[in-house]
Amino acid sequence: MLKNRIHQSVMGWCFKPMPPLELGELCRKIGVPAIEGVSSKFYPQLLKMGLKISLVSSHGFRKGFCDVKLHDECVETLQKNIDLARDIGTQNVITFTGMLPENVDRETATRNCVRGLKKIVGYAEKRGITLVLEHLNSRDNTHPMKGHPGYFGDDVDHVVEMIRQVGSPHLKLLFDIYHVQIMNGDVVRRIRQYHEYIGHYHTAGCPGRGELDDRQEINYPYVMKAILETGFQGYVAQEFIPTWEDSAAALEHAVQLCDIGG
């Protein structure tokens, strides 16, 4: 039995080729109450299993608000997914800055992000949904999902500043512990510093985005303790890429490691 002081979830894309419904059954077996990062076509069956959808996807990390040409497309996609989140009882919808376009300087891209996010955040407010803007690392170029060279929102301090400029309680930070460790470090201090802006967390071992085991540098029980001390009530999603032969055992290990007591 899990203590469940940390409300955990599982990111579906990491556990492919395990089918989403099989992953859902695994979540139920080990006591994880929620899942994310799977196609919305599986939502009805996962909800029927008694699981919650912890985060609704949107326009993908390559597209985003730093490119003014993509504003209309991103707003339209987010509107649909905000409505979906409301309908299924999910609090958060993910969004991204996207890749920095050629010939656009960072100051202009910042203004583009703030202006674009202001176009959609009122829609989220009226429906009681929170957008969570994800910070991603741009350093790791070894794997398409371990790092994202060219991603604009790669400095967590800067991402928080853009959130502040938008100025809505319905826009928060998706604090990905793995990405923050690579780009900024000082993870626990930043959790404490920015806790009022954080709406969702992701985990993974660093370096390598593997298991939360003794081959990585983050002390996850201590990080979870810091999260609890801030009063956070949202989800912490396991988003590591399994390397163990038994990926189910890897997930159970990570869940138990993060399931800290008082």
Helix (H) or strand (E) holding 48: helix 43-48
Residues of the chain with pLDDT > 70, as a percent, come to 100
162-196 confidence digits (pLDDT tens): 999 999 999 999 999 999 999 999 999 999 999 99
Phi-psi region of 15 (alpha: psi -120 to 50; beta: other; left: phi over 0): alpha
Single-letter amino acid code for the residue at 92: N
Q: How far apart, in Å, are the Cα atoms of 62 and each of 35, 74, 123, 148? A: 23, 11, 23, 9
Nearest CA to 240 among 230, 251, 229, 231? 251
Question: Which domains are present in the chain?
Answer: 7-258 (3.20.20.150)
Structure pTM?
0.98
Does the structure show a pLDDT above 70 at 99?
yes
Average pLDDT, integer, range 101-122:
98
Q: Which pLDDT band, with edges at 50, 70 and 90, does 1 fall under? A: confident
Q: Give the pLDDT confidence of 135-149 residue by residue, as tens digits.
A: 999 999 999 999 999
In this predicted structure, the answer to whether residue 125 has a pLDDT above a threshold of 80 is: yes
Cis peptide leading into 19, omega within 30 of 0? no
> In 3D, which of 78, 94, 89 has the Cα closest to residue 52?
89
- Going by pLDDT thresholds of 50, 70 and 90, the confidence category of residue 51 is very high
Q: Are 218 and 206 in contact (CB under 8 A)?
A: yes
**pLDDT score for 46:** 98
Name the 3-class secondary structure at 207.
coil
Q: Is the pLDDT of residue 60 over 80?
A: yes
Q: Who contacts 167 (Cβ-Cβ below 8 Å, separation ≥6)?
A: none
Q: What is the pLDDT of residue 221?
A: 97
pLDDT digit string, tens, across residues 207-253: 999 999 999 999 999 999 999 999 999 999 999 999 999 999 999 99
pLDDT of amino acid 93? 99
Q: Among residues 228, 235, 162, which one has the least CA distance to residue 197? A: 162
* pLDDT at residue 261, rounded to an integer: 80
Q: 172 with 163: CB under 8 angstroms?
A: yes
Number of Cβ atoms within 10 Å of the Cβ of 164: 12
Phi, psi dihedrals of residue 22, rounded to the nearest 5°? -65, -40
Query: How much is the pLDDT for 262?
Result: 64
Q: What is the mean pLDDT of residues 37-62?
A: 98
